[in-house]
Amino acid sequence: DAGVIQSPRHEVTEMGQEVTLRCKPISGHDYLFWYRQTMMRGLELLIYFNNNVPIDDSGMPEDRFSAKMPNASFSTLKIQPSEPRDSAVYFCASTSLSSYNEQFFGPGTRLTVL
């Protein structure tokens, strides 16, 4: 398996623009997680899905953030409009009960909002 795939790896945009981050989980995994990592706050869970259904989105900072999982092999995290304080590395991770809760992380998307 290729592991968790994220795109793009780097994104530079201007304040006010829409940003869409993409994730392909490991085949067979039924849990998908979106995280944000900054030096100040570390790794924060934004939202997680089980069987494509959002279970807990309490970490989503505000209405500008939205996430979808239209099928088992694809998820998006959208920021609209983006702000400079959204600059961070965004990680996607997946797991399943048969993986004993071990999360497999993607390489991350480094987002810079100017």
Cβ atoms of 100 and 85 within 8 Å: the answer is no
Find residue 113's DSSP bridge partners. 13
Using CB under 8 A as the binding rule, whether residue 21 contacts other proteins is answered as: no
Stretch that binds other proteins, among 19-27, 62-70, 71-79, 91-99 (CB under 8 A): 91-99
Does 98 bind other proteins (CB under 8 A)? Our answer is no
Which range of residues in 17-25, 34-42, 62-70, 72-80 is near other proteins by CB under 8 A?
A: 34-42
Residue among 93, 94, 92, 68 at smallest CA distance from 80: 68
Give the three-state DSSP class for 76: strand
Nearer to other proteins by C-beta: 87 or 103?
103
Residues contacting residue 38 through CB under 8 Å, at least 6 positions apart: 44, 88, 89
Binding site for other proteins (CB under 8 A): 4, 31, 33, 35, 41-45, 48, 50, 55-56, 58, 91, 93, 95, 100-108
